[in-house]
Structures are given as structure tokens and as C-alpha cells.
Structure 1
Amino acid sequence: MSVTRIDNERWLSCDECGDDQDGQYEKDDFQPMVDDAKHAGWLIRKNGSTYEHFCPTCRDKAPPVDQRKSQGWSHGLKKRRFA
């Protein structure tokens, strides 16, 4: 996880290069932090049970999501099992 926490302040850090998101947010402002990052061009995605964060510079170099970690979920929809 790449949410940096110091006291009550939070911000995102890129998993690829370690660059920090502009601005700092209070601990209760998680959704505005995520919304601002996405608006600034950050890629935030879930990979298995963890979230990955890539800055605008690194987002195109992000490795593909490991589909083996999906555990029955694909593209946000549960896979159907037929008898």
C-alpha cells in the first residue's frame, strides 16, 4: 500500500518511482485524496487484496494486474459457475 501516513496527514506515493502526490490530506479526507489523485492522472487499482498507485509519469509502465490473485472476480463482476 502506498498511502503515506504521518500523524493526521495522508498522501499517496507512487509504487514505481516513490514520487508523492501534491498536497496533504487529513485522515478523514481519504476520498477527496483519491479523487484529486485520479483527476491529476494517477492510476489507482486493486491487484488481488492490495491497491497499487502509479503517478502520471509511471502509469503507462505499470505492470499488468496478476489475474491469479482475482479469486473468482473479473472486471468487478463475480464469475458465474455453471453446473
Structure 2
Amino acid sequence: MTVEREELRRLVDELPENELNAARRYLEFIRDVGKDPVRFALENAMLDDEPETDEERERAKRADEDFMAGRTTSMDELKRELGL
């Protein structure tokens, strides 16, 4: 066993109980990076560098206002609308 693995085990043993789930998820993330082609594509996608239009800003503002006012569509309603 390498010193690094021993140190990691010691650190895990010292974690508070309420942090174990987060530590497990993080270690799984590190282990699995590169295995999921969709995740890889998303993480390596180019940023949208086009300037936001006035129309896009207005639509985003209206969407935020609708959300804050509770004007939303439930998943069941959306499925019905889409015929799913």
C-alpha cells in the first residue's frame, strides 16, 4: 500500500459522519472522469461567445419573473403537452 492511499484512508476516517456521502460522490467523480462520453463532451464544449441579444435578455427576464410568481408548468403537464 502506498503512502498516498494510507493518507487518504486516514483522512476518510477523520471525516465527520455527515460529510462521508459528499466525499464518496467526489471520489466517484474523480474516478469516473473521462468514462462518460456525454459528460466529457459537456465539460469540454466551447462556451457560447455570441453576445446576448435584447430579445434573449427580455425572454430570460420574463422567465425569471414567471418562475418567481409561481407561473410554472409541472412535469405531468409538460408530459401531457408533449404527448409522453
Instruction: Please indicate the TM-score interval, normalised by the length of the shorter structure.
Output: under 0.3
Q: Using CA pairs below 8 Å that are at least 6 residues apart, which structure has the higher relative contact order?
A: 1
> TM-score, structure 1 length as denominator?
0.24
Q: Which has the higher Rg, Structure 1 or Structure 2? A: 2
Q: Which structure is higher in strand share?
A: 1
Q: Which structure is higher in helix share?
A: 2
